[in-house]
Structure 1
Amino acid sequence: MNIAEFLNTNAEKFPLKSAIGFKKKEKWTEISWTSFRRLVFKTANALREAGISEHDKVAIYSDNSAEWIVFDLAILSLGAITVPIYSTNNEEQAEYILNESECKMILVGNQEQYDAAFSILNKHHILQKVIVAKKSIWIKKENSQYLEDFIKKAAEEFNIVAKEDTELATIIYTSGTTGVPKGVMLTHGNFHKSVEAHFEFFKFNNFENEKSLAFLPLTHVFERCWTLLVLFGGATAYFLENTKLIASALTEVKPTMMCSVPRFYQKIYAGVNEMVNNSSDAKKKIFKWAIATGNEVAELRRVNKPIPFSLKMKNTVAGIMVFNKIKQKMGGKLWFMPCGGASVSEEVTRFFEALGIHITVGYGLTETTATLTCFPFHHFKHGSAGIRFGETQLKIGENDEILAKGSGIMKGYYKKPEATAEVFTEDGWFKTGDAGRFDDSGNLFITDRIKDLMKTSNGKYIAPQPIENLLSNNNYINQAMIVAEGKSFVTALIIPNFEALKEQLDKMSIPFTNWEDIVKSEKIKEFYREKIEEIQKNLAGFEKVKKFVLMPSEFEMTSGEITPTLKVKRNVIMQKYADVINGMYNS
């Protein structure tokens, strides 16, 4: 079945209910399922009239927006293939994807993306037209058209093209922490079976009443799959175009569900703890009591046991005094938050469970249509990546590598048969590239990326992610990258939380000049040295960071230093900052 078929199902079931929400002229606006389907169908007809046929490739090069999801579903409805391009990709990166995938048309979201696409159009033998999402963008008329004008005269009736499970729906180019991007081929069956497996796994009640905020890039498999699930289930999906406005969007939209990456949860956890540390003894005592109460309730919920009336009352008081104030910063309605893209520490998931927000930790890859394992509502294990999901088969192979089979596994890498063969065993198991282990209850624990596992010159193995998580759980550290491979001791590149550090400068009577000077200040280095010593006091000696460098700016997506899910590209960082890293070992 074509994954876009839910448009018909939900337009008939919930004709007047809101399907999607977006910001228009500084105000959040919603459109009904009937209007949403009409918009998608008009776009599909316009694409067909413009020469797009079944199996053709069409690209989307844009930040999140209502136009993004409308265009995607129109492509899928037509039986064509969506090729998303990260909005942060430069012209060279976009050109590589467009050339290899042979896209005939592209939707762009901003001026920079339009300029890059138009430049590619003039030297590309297959790309024929650039469609522009917003009329605020200046365009050259040649082979360019605003989306509004593109669909204006198109018919509203459309028959969704039937699809077999094995037929291609999308090619997602992995940002990858190493190597050249590879186009992951996912089918209608991959998406459809993944969505159905989620509903079977969680057994949501009245899911159509939920509201989700799309905050991660729709280009990434995690947000794309989650948003399709939200829409498939008849809930309302809101689209945030500018991720810097996440704080205000949360209080305006008041979502009940939202997927995100560990850094989002870490920042909230670290910020609350720092605020408590700087408060009075009385407030510290109240917070400690509230968290202890919340943890007691959360543990009973986790093991699916009834909560005594007296404990419920205590938890209500804890909510009024502490929890509700924190939750209001996130809109006040969030209760279910899938988390993926990297590992998240047990301290963080326990904190959110105490607040009454279920962080559903999951594990998966683009190649597996996201979820392979995740936390159920009950009997999950903190610190794990959850249990096997749906019909997925998992086992541990050589070097503790996690191997997978199931309906979510990709068809392969587009035009890369050798790369495809490399990631499958002879008997068809997909090699994830991650090391892990199972406990007796079937909970999966990710020990690390096999490629990331580091061996010091003393023969000790270092798994960087747990140490990096430990560091970045602190409010004064935004990002951290561990260095240890072939070295005699562990070092780190530390990105400060500049906002928190600026407040600290006032307390330390250090005048602000610029961040290059500040991070070289001996007082600031000593401040971080003390923080890091405290953070890693329970680590083994060989795992501890012996030296570090404070970086004057964050790692950036645009320069290829981090992926869109905020994972550090180690090979890029190691090469770019080789002199800085060598300096820690030579001084």
Structure 2
Amino acid sequence: MNITQFLNTNTEKYSLKHAIGFRKDNKWESINWKDFRRMVFKTANALKEAGVEENDRVAIYSDNSAEWIVFDLAILSIGAVTVPIYSTNSKEQAEYIINDSESKIIMVGNQEQYDAAYELIQRNVFLKKIIVSKKKVWIKKEFSEFLEDFIKTAKEHSEIVEKSDDDLATLIYTSGTTGIPKGVMLTHGNFNKSFEAHFDFFKFKNFQNEHSLAFLPLTHVFERSWTLLCLFGGAKVSFLENTKLIASTLTEVKPTMMCAVPRFYQKIYAGVNEMVKDGSETKKKIFNWAMSVGSEVAELKRLGKAVPFALNLKNSAANKLVFQKIKNKMGGNLWFMPCGGASLSPEVTKFFDAMGIRITVGYGLTETTATLTAFPFTHYEHGSAGITLGDTKIKIGENDEILAKGSGIMKGYYKKAEETAAVFTEDGWFKTGDAGKLDEKGNLYITDRIKDLMKTSNGKYVTPQPIENLLSNNQFISQAMVVAEGKPFVTALIIPNFEALKDQLPKMNMPFTSWEEIVNSDQIKAFYQQKIDEIQQSQSGFEKVKKFTLMPAEFEIGSGEITPTLKVKRNVVLEKYKELIDKMYLH
């Protein structure tokens, strides 16, 4: 079945109910299911008129927007294949994806993306047309058309093309922390089976009344599959175009659901704890009491037990005094938050649990249509990545590698038979490249990326992610990259949380000059040394960061230091900052 069949199903069921939300002229607007389907079908007909046929590839090179999802569904509904390109990708990266996928048409969102696409189309043998989603972009009429004009004369009715489970739906190019991007082939069956597995696993009640905020890039499998799942289930999805506006958007949109990466939760966790630390003794006592009550309630709920009446009363008071204030900053209605992309410390999930916000930790890859495992509503284990969904099977192979089978596993890498064969065992298990273990209850624990496992020159094995998580759970540390491979001890490159550090400077009687000067000052180094010593108290000696370097700026997506989902590309950073790293081992 074509995954876009939900357009017909939900238009019949919820014709006048809001399907999507978006910001227009500084205010949030919505479109109902009937109008949403009409826009998708008009776009689908316009694509057909432009010469797009079944199985042709069509690219989207844009930030999140309502137009993004309309264009995606239009492509899929006519049996063509969507090729998302990260909005942060360079012109060269976009060109590689267009050439490899042989995309015919590309939709762009902003001026920079349009300029890159316009330059490419003049020398590209595959690309025939650029569709521009926003009128504020200045375009040259040759090869280009605004989406609004593109669909103006198109018919409003379209037949959704039938598809089998094995038919290709999308090519998602892995941003990859190593090597050349590979086009992951995901099918209509991969998505449909994934949706069914999620609804069977969580057994949501009245899902059509939920409201999700699409905040992570739709180009990434996590947000894309979650957004499609929400629409499949009849929920409303609002699209955030500028991620810098997340704080104000949460209070305006008031979503009930939203998926995010660990960094989002770590920042809230660290910010609240720092605020409490700086507060009065009375405020500390109230906060600690509230957390104690909330934690007791959360633990009973985790075990599937009833909460006694008296404890419920106390929890209501804790909610009014403490938790609701924090929750209101996140819109006040959030209760279900899928989290993936990297590991998350158990203290962070317990903290949110105590407040009554469920972080549903999960594990998966682009190659597995996102979720392989997730926290169920009860009997989950903090620190784990949950249990398997649907027909997914997991076992632990050589070098503790996590191996998976199931209907979410990709068809393979596009035009890369050797690379595809390399990630499957002879009996068909997909090799994830991650190391892990399973407990007796079937909970999966991720220990690390196999490629990231480090061995010091003293023969000790160091897994960097838990150390990096521990460091970045602190309010003053935005990101950390651990170095240990072949070295006598562990060091780290530390990206300060510049916002928090700037607020701290007046308290230290330090005027702001430049970040270069600030991070190299003895006073700031001593401040961070103290923080790192506090953080590492319970660490084993060989795992402790002995020396660190404070970086004067964030790692950047554009320069290839991090992926669009904020994972550090270790090989790039190690090479780029080799001198800085070597310096830490000189004395």
Q: TM-score, normalized by length of structure 2?
A: 1.00
Name the structure 2 match of 1:270.
270
* 2:473 alignment partner AA: N
Whole-angstrom CA distance in 2 between matches of 1:563 and 1:266? 18
**Deviation at residue 559 of structure 1 after TM alignment:** 1.2
**Deviation at residue 440 of structure 1 after TM alignment:** 1.1
Whole-angstrom CA distance in 2 between matches of 1:70 and 1:559? 31
**Deviation at residue 558 of structure 1 after TM alignment:** 1.3
Whole-angstrom CA distance in 1 between matches of 2:585 and 2:116? 42
**Deviation at residue 388 of structure 1 after TM alignment:** 1.1
Whole-angstrom CA distance in 2 between matches of 1:577 and 1:389? 41
Q: Deviations over 1:326-385 (max 9, x none)?
A: 000000000000000000000000000000011000000000000000000000000000
Whole-angstrom CA distance in 2 between matches of 1:249 and 1:357? 18
Name the structure 2 match of 1:159.
159
For 2:452, what is the secondary structure of its paired residue? coil
* 1:276 alignment partner AA: V
**Deviation at residue 563 of structure 1 after TM alignment:** 1.1
Is 1:481 the equivalent of 2:485? no
Name the structure 2 match of 1:383.
383
Whole-angstrom CA distance in 2 between matches of 1:565 and 1:276? 30
For 1:478, what is the secondary structure of its paired residue? strand
For 1:256, what is the secondary structure of its paired residue? coil
Which residues in structure 2 correspond to 1:74-93 (within 5 Å)? 74-93=74-93
Name the structure 2 match of 1:169.
169
Name the structure 2 match of 1:517.
517
**Deviation at residue 159 of structure 1 after TM alignment:** 0.4
Name the structure 2 match of 1:582.
582
* 1:288 alignment partner AA: N
Whole-angstrom CA distance in 1 between matches of 2:4 and 2:559? 35
Whole-angstrom CA distance in 1 between matches of 2:463 and 2:564? 22
* 2:23 alignment partner AA: K
Name the structure 1 match of 2:188.
188
Name the structure 1 match of 2:96.
96
Whole-angstrom CA distance in 1 between matches of 2:126 and 2:337? 41
Q: Deviations over 1:141-160 (max 9, x none)?
A: 00100000000000000000
**Deviation at residue 564 of structure 1 after TM alignment:** 1.5
Name the structure 1 match of 2:2.
2
For 1:395, what is the secondary structure of its paired residue? strand
**Deviation at residue 40 of structure 1 after TM alignment:** 0.1
Name the structure 1 match of 2:109.
109
Name the structure 1 match of 2:355.
355
For 1:205, what is the secondary structure of its paired residue? coil
Gapped regions of structure 2 (runs ≥ 5): none
Q: CA RMSD in A?
A: 0.4
Name the structure 1 match of 2:48.
48
> Which consecutive segments of 4 or more residues in structure 1 shift more than 2 A?
none
Q: Deviations over 1:120-153 (max 9, x none)?
A: 1001011000000001000000010000000000
Name the structure 1 match of 2:424.
424
Name the structure 2 match of 1:61.
61
For 1:311, what is the secondary structure of its paired residue? helix
Name the structure 2 match of 1:318.
318
For 1:548, what is the secondary structure of its paired residue? strand
Which residues in structure 2 correspond to 1:195-214 (within 5 Å)? 195-214=195-214
* 1:61 alignment partner AA: Y
Whole-angstrom CA distance in 2 between matches of 1:561 and 1:189? 34
Which residues in structure 2 correspond to 1:185-584 (within 5 Å)? 185-584=185-584
* 1:25 alignment partner AA: D
* 1:453 alignment partner AA: L
* 1:327 alignment partner AA: K
**Deviation at residue 248 of structure 1 after TM alignment:** 0.5
**Deviation at residue 315 of structure 1 after TM alignment:** 0.3
* 1:388 alignment partner AA: T
Whole-angstrom CA distance in 2 between matches of 1:564 and 1:361? 20
**Deviation at residue 9 of structure 1 after TM alignment:** 0.3
**Deviation at residue 498 of structure 1 after TM alignment:** 0.5
Whole-angstrom CA distance in 2 between matches of 1:124 and 1:272? 51
Whole-angstrom CA distance in 2 between matches of 1:481 and 1:444? 24
Whole-angstrom CA distance in 1 between matches of 2:408 and 2:16? 33
Count of aligned pairs:
587
Whole-angstrom CA distance in 1 between matches of 2:351 and 2:210? 23
**Deviation at residue 560 of structure 1 after TM alignment:** 1.0
Name the structure 1 match of 2:178.
178
Whole-angstrom CA distance in 2 between matches of 1:586 and 1:151? 63
Whole-angstrom CA distance in 1 between matches of 2:344 and 2:572? 23
Whole-angstrom CA distance in 2 between matches of 1:232 and 1:562? 32
For 1:238, what is the secondary structure of its paired residue? strand
**Deviation at residue 305 of structure 1 after TM alignment:** 0.6
**Deviation at residue 479 of structure 1 after TM alignment:** 0.2
Whole-angstrom CA distance in 1 between matches of 2:184 and 2:437? 26
Whole-angstrom CA distance in 1 between matches of 2:37 and 2:571? 44
* 1:113 alignment partner AA: Q
For 2:391, what is the secondary structure of its paired residue? coil
Whole-angstrom CA distance in 1 between matches of 2:76 and 2:187? 11
**Deviation at residue 321 of structure 1 after TM alignment:** 0.4
Q: TM-score, normalized by length of structure 1?
A: 1.00
Whole-angstrom CA distance in 1 between matches of 2:467 and 2:438? 21
Q: Deviations over 1:515-541 (max 9, x none)?
A: 000000000000000100110111100
* 2:433 alignment partner AA: G
For 1:512, what is the secondary structure of its paired residue? coil
* 2:415 alignment partner AA: K
Whole-angstrom CA distance in 2 between matches of 1:513 and 1:330? 33
* 1:170 alignment partner AA: T
> Identity over aligned residues, as a percent?
73
For 2:60, what is the secondary structure of its paired residue? strand
For 1:586, what is the secondary structure of its paired residue? coil
Q: Deviations over 1:253-275 (max 9, x none)?
A: 00000000000000000000000
For 1:451, what is the secondary structure of its paired residue? helix
Name the structure 2 match of 1:37.
37
For 1:51, what is the secondary structure of its paired residue? coil
Q: Deviations over 1:409-447 (max 9, x none)?
A: 000001111110110001110000000001111100000
Name the structure 1 match of 2:72.
72
* 1:91 alignment partner AA: K
Q: Deviations over 1:379-412 (max 9, x none)?
A: 0000000001110011000000000000000000
Whole-angstrom CA distance in 2 between matches of 1:136 and 1:24? 13
